[in-house]
Amino acid sequence: MKALILLGGFGTRLRPFTCQTPKPLLPILNQPFITYQLNLLKKYGIKEVTFCLSYKAEQFNKFVGTGKNFGLKVNYVYEDKPLGTGGAIKNAEKYFDETTIILNGDILTDINISEIMKFHNNKKAVLTISLIRVKDPTIYGLVETDKNQRIEKFLEKPSWDEVTCNTINGGIYIFEPELLSYIPPNINYSVERGLFPMLLEQKKNVYGYISNPYWIDIGTVEKYKQTHFDILNCNVNVPVPGKKLRNNVWVKNKASIDKTSTLTGKIVLGKNTKIEQFVQLSGCVSIGCNCIIRKGSQIIDSIILDNTVIEEGVKIENSLIGNNCKIESNSIINSGNALGDKTHLTKFSNI
């Protein structure tokens, strides 16, 4: 089996953080997000992956290259204009010579790929969609199945009186190559709105694989932060990147922590980051590479990206701070803030 990852989105819900970096390359615990997807695919024996690219495509090639460092062969397919999910898949048709797993490029999951593949084969399906149970299905598209998990109906963002189940499209598909013949070439086309309902009308073998893996779409600031916290809290079956320095503290090379500082909770520090005297880090905290946290600052349940300086006596709580920022002394960043790259807060700021 091969894999294909849909990576062409603009990441508009995560701006300003995606203005310079495509969403799948944003760091999660100082590791580009796509690394987690590639590691999942490799874990289940997949050896060849195709990237469907558009926005800032060159950055993927720079980071992943041939895929050799990940133990994979990586193909690149580019689109000059947005083609939608279906158009992107059609654009990669030359790589579809066998059953292929397709992933949306913003989904973190620990789904068992062997099990969904076994299900797909047992059902002799042309398409299997991973279905996820959610508490509030009205903000997603519902997928109804019969007792054998054959899909009967798709319902986009239903009202509560239309809700008949709590299973949604999880953005992971097992595709047979024959499906490519149904997708028109060179146009913006959605498999969710076009191909999938068409297959139901034609009584094709379309099934929903219902399971209970960890699953999150990282596409908003809150979900992006939550992804960090969930990995640190072991809610998802992926390892925390870095060397474990002591209980619940992970560091990359040359990170330094002054002995007077207090680290409680679960902490990740990037390469060359420096924690100075009497700093307090608590809750779930991820600090990027080449950062400096100066004397007496407090950071609680927050994420700080690369090359950022936090001056003395700063307090940051439940916030996201971008790359190359400077927060001057005695500032307070209250819960729920998200500061884009190169933000500069002067002394005694309170936001």
- Average per-residue pLDDT for the chain: 93
Pairing relationship of beta strands 2-6 and 100-104 according to DSSP bridges: parallel
> Residue 154: which of 205, 102, 202, 194 has the closest Cα?
194
User: So what's the pLDDT on residue 55?
Assistant: 87
Query: Token pair 């932060």 is at which residue?
Result: 225
Reported in sequence order, the residue ranges of 191-242 that DSSP labels E, i.e. its strands, are 206-210, 215-217
On the CB side of 194, CA atoms within 13 Å amount to 14
Q: Which residues contact 136 (CB under 8 A, 6 or more apart)?
A: none
Structure tokens at 126: 């042309």
Are the C-beta atoms of 120 and 215 separated by less than 8 Å? no
For residue 57, pLDDT over 90 is answered with no
pLDDT digits (tens, 9 = 90+) for 91-122: 999 999 999 999 999 999 999 999 999 999 99
Domains and CATH numbers, the chain: 2-220 (3.90.550.10), 242-345 (2.160.10.10)
Q: How far apart are CA 145 and CA 54, in angstroms?
A: 34
Structure tokens at 297: 């600052």
For residue 161, pLDDT over 80 is answered with no
Percent with pLDDT over 90 in the chain: 81
For residue 201, pLDDT over 90 is answered with yes
pLDDT band at 284 (very low <50, low <70, confident <90, very high): very high
Percent with pLDDT over 70 in the chain: 99
Mean pLDDT lowest among 161-165, 172-176, 226-230, 299-303: 161-165
pLDDT band at 162 (very low <50, low <70, confident <90, very high): confident
- Give every strand in the sheet of 249-251, ordered side by side: 243-246, 249-251, 266-269, 284-287, 303-304, 320-321, 338-339
> Residue 349: which of 315, 307, 305 has the closest Cα?
315
